[in-house]
């Protein structure tokens, strides 16, 4: 456990220091959402109808923005070699790295959501619903995205490929995340059904992601 918590603490520390990249995602999220009302126009009803979708799209793209560096940085400076050789199973090390990435880059997006909800004419309940769905859904984005990040290391310069591989996997998360938020705002669906599926997607990716990423890294050893 010391090994894993050391890895989580290191990754968070690096992400939060200057040039670490944790803030890049939040800034991107802010930019997309702040610009949206100017593009859509001052129709408040339309804004609040589009609000959850805009927030979700912004969060999805922001969380993928920094994800391709998840293993690349460690690969370039040789840390990945030592992590592979160590007594900690590679699957657990991958899970720890993804957890650290989510804490440093995913959680700030959820914290920023209430502020951005104001710009999109969302009331307290709607904002709360979006924040809750993001909390349940963004781990799925990180843990499936991790598979693409591992492949990007294996295939060298696979940054673009990662987007192509990971985006289809994140479509179900987007669909059910927005559906659950819309259910609260306009109905007539219940919140429970899409939200349960969203949680299930996250739980499945928590299990599959680390194994797939570790398998990909082992296969790509060179």
Partner 1 sequence: MSGTTQGKMQLSGRGLICVRGGREVFSGLDFAAAAGEAVSVVGRNGAGKTSLLRLIAGLLVPAAGTIVLDGGDGELTLPEQCHYLGHRDALKPALSVTENLTFWADFLGGERADPAETLATVGLDHATHLPAGFLSAGQRRRLSLARLLTVRRPVWLLDEPTNALDVAGQDMFGGLMRQHLSRGGMIVAATHAPLGIESRELRIGGVA
Q: In the complex, which residues of this chain contact partner 1 (CB under 8 A)?
A: 2-3, 5-7, 9-10, 13-14, 17-20, 76-79, 81-88, 221-222
Nearer to partner 1, 10 or 49 (CB): 10
- The CB-of-81 to partner 1 minimum distance in angstroms stands at 6
Nearer to partner 1, 93 or 141 (CB): 93
What string of DSSP letters covers 41-108? -S-HHHHHHHHHHHHHHHHHHHHHHTTTHHHHHHHHTTHHHHHHHSSS-HHHHHHHHHHHHIIIIIHH
- The CB-of-141 to partner 1 minimum distance in angstroms stands at 25
Length of the chain (residues): 222
Closest CA to 61 of 15, 30, 34, 40: 30
Does residue 188 have a cis peptide bond before it, meaning omega lies within 30 degrees of 0?
Answer: yes
Closest CA to 145 of 160, 157, 162, 159: 162
- The CB-of-102 to partner 1 minimum distance in angstroms stands at 19
Nearer to partner 1, 4 or 208 (CB): 4
- The CB-of-189 to partner 1 minimum distance in angstroms stands at 46
Q: Return phi, psi of residue 21, to 5°.
A: 100, -10
Buried b (16+ CB within 10 A) or exposed e, 16-47: eeeebbbbbbbebbbebbeebbeeeeeeeeeb
- The CB-of-78 to partner 1 minimum distance in angstroms stands at 3
Identify whether the C-beta of residue 209 lies closer than 8 Å to the C-beta of residue 195: no
Nearer to partner 1, 43 or 76 (CB): 76
- The CB-of-86 to partner 1 minimum distance in angstroms stands at 6
């Amino acid at each position: 456990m010391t090994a894993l918590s050391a890895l989580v603490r290191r990754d968070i520390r690096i992400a939060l220091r200057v040039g670490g990249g944790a803030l890049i995602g939040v800034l991107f999220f802010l930019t997309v959402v702040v610009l949206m009302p100017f593009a859509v126009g001052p129709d408040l009803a339309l804004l609040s109808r589009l609000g959850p979708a805009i927030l979700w799209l912004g969060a999805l793209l922001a969380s993928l923005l920094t994800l391709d560096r998840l293993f690349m940085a460690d690969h370039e400076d040789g840390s990945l070699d030592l992590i592979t050789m160590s007594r900690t199973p590679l699957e657990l090390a991958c899970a720890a790295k993804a957890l650290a990435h989510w804490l440093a880059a995913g959680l700030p997006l959820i914290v920023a959501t209430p502020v951005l909800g104001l710009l999109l004419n969302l009331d307290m309940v709607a904002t709360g619903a979006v924040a809750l769905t993001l909390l349940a859904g963004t781990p799925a984005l990180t843990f499936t995205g991790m598979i693409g990040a591992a492949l990007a290391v294996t295939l060298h310069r696979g940054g673009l490929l990662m987007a192509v591989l990971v985006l289809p996997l994140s479509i179900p998360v987007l669909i059910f995340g927005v559906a659950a938020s819309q259910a609260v705002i306009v109905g007539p669906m219940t919140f429970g059904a899409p939200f349960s599926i969203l949680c299930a997607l996250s739980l499945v990716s928590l299990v599959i992601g680390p194994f797939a990423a570790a398998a990909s890294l082992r296969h790509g050893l060179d």
